[in-house]
């Protein structure tokens, strides 16, 4: 009967809300800063893994909905060099592992539509909270307040809930990824659309990466990764920067930058310390990037958040001792995240170094 407040309506927070409701917890609210479900364009495609993202959807009873919305073939990749030579082509029958892809928008829609009415409280950007009895009184920037017996921080990399649990901060990993999208890509960059072929491109050269993925709405999303300082900024136009930083790369790649829709977003990459620890509280915890931020170069982010939601939902509903339940969840979550982060950091460094191509070929061979 405890009131549970989930701060953040991303895949992790929504998955937790659904799982709790499936397990009979009726007093669950998700507080999301977006004004409504259509407030923002959702990001690139997500490949869900059998042991994590798909396991959470299975327990949530949402596999049928997933099967209706995932994109067959979107998990196929091509590996290219900077001259646009195709080195590995899974479209030619070289597919190694099945990891079905779904766009963020449809995944969010599936999760939202699975929740009881009024579960998500929109336009609720977290401002602060204070202890109230055995729980918390949350305050939002729109002036409203809400009481919860248990608060779960699912509010991402810049979590406002995390400082209530620990002062530990993430460290910069030495590289930045510039994110951008091209809408109506078949009209603007038809050659790139043909090259992507509905899947993903992983392009390596000069200790840099360019990752391009197709979305079901006709958009191409890309991430250009390179070593940098933490305070790196683009000087001049985006196209001038790309021509300089990726000098000597095939002209077809420049077409993405020349036709970018709405500008680009530099994303300096951070990671939580692998040995982080904190004292468990009976009325507060977190999941996903809020708990264990790491770079995206192992494809584990959303899967780990959904696995956190799965494990936390079990811990919160299988006993009366909330402190013991949350302590167990956090201990296992940190151990799991630390191992994944170590692997991710190694991947990030190698893929932005001189041996990136050889390393990637070793992974898919």
User: pLDDT digit string (tens) for 40-86?
Assistant: 666 678 889 999 999 999 999 999 999 999 998 888 999 999 999 99
pTM over 0.75: yes
278-326 pLDDT per residue, tens: 999 999 999 999 999 999 987 788 999 999 999 999 999 988 899 999 9
The enclosing H or E element of 150 equals strand 150-153
Residue 47 in any domain: the answer is yes
Q: Which of 125-129, 329-333, 360-364 has the lowest mean pLDDT?
A: 360-364
Q: How far is Cα 302 from Cα 296, in angstroms, rounded to an integer?
A: 9
- Give per-residue pLDDT as tens, 126-178: 999 999 999 999 999 999 999 999 999 999 999 999 999 999 999 999 999 99
What is the model's pLDDT at position 40?
Answer: 67
- The vertex-313 CA angle with 118 and 72, nearest 5°, equals 80
Q: Is 36 within a domain?
A: yes
The Cβ of residue 78 has, within 10 Å, a number of other Cβ atoms equal to: 21
- Establish if 157 belongs to a structural domain: yes
Domain count for the chain: 1
195 domain-assigned: no
Alpha helix positions (H), the chain: 11-22, 53-59, 63-69, 104-114, 185-188, 190-196, 238-245, 251-258, 289-292, 301-317, 322-351, 356-364
Asked, for residue 341, whether it belongs to a domain, the answer is yes
Query: Which pLDDT band, with edges at 50, 70 and 90, does 200 fall under?
Result: very high
Does 63 fall in a domain? Answer: no
By residue range, what is the domain housing residue 322? 4-57+104-168+273-349
Phi, psi angles (nearest 5°) of residue 170? -75, 160
Q: What is the domain-level CATH number for residue 46?
A: 3.50.50.60
pLDDT at 339: 95
| In the predicted structure, residue 96 carries a pLDDT above the cut 60 | no
Q: Is position 213 within any domain?
A: no
> In this structure, is residue 259 part of a structural domain?
no
């Amino acid at each position: 009967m405890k009131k549970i407040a989930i701060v953040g309506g991303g895949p992790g927070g929504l998955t937790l809300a659904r799982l709790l409701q499936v397990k009979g917890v009726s007093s669950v609210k998700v507080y999301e800063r977006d004004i409504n479900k259509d407030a923002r364009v959702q990001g690139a495609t997500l490949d869900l893994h059998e042991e994590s993202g798909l396991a959470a959807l299975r327990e949530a009873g949402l596999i049928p909905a997933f099967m209706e919305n995932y994109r067959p073939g979107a998990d196929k990749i091509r590996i290219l060099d900077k001259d646009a030579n195709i080195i590995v082509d899974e479209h030619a029958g070289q597919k190694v592992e099945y990891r079905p892809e779904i766009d963020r928008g449809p995944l969010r829609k599936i999760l939202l539509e699975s929740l009881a009415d009024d579960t998500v409280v929109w336009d609720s950007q977290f401002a602060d909270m204070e202890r109230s009895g055995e729980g918390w009184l949350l305050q939002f920037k729109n002036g409203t307040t809400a009481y919860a017996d248990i608060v779960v921080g699912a509010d991402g990399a810049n979590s406002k809930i995390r400082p209530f649990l620990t002062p530990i901060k993430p460290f910069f990993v030495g590289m930045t990824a510039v994110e951008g999208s091209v809408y109506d890509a078949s009209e603007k960059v038809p050659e790139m659309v043909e090259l992507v072929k509905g899947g993903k491109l992983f392009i390596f050269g000069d200790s840099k990466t360019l990752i391009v993925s197709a979305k079901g709405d006709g958009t191409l999303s890309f991430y250009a990764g390179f070593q940098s300082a933490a305070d790196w900024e683009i000087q001049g136009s985006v196209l001038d920067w790309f021509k300089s930083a990726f000098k000597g790369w095939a002209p077809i790649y420049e077409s993405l930058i020349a036709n970018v829709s709405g500008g680009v977003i530099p994303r300096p990459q951070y990671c939580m310390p692998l040995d982080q620890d904190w004292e468990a509280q009976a009325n507060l915890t977190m999941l996903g990037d809020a708990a264990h931020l790491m770079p995206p170069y192992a494809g584990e982010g959303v899967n780990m958040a959904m696995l956190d939601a799965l494990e936390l939902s079990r811990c919160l509903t299988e006993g009366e001792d909330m402190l013991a339940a949350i302590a167990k969840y956090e201990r296992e979550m940190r151990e799991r995240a630390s191992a994944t982060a170590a692997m991710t950091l190694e991947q990030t460094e190698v893929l932005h170094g001189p041996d990136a191509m050889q390393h990637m070929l070793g992974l898919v061979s």
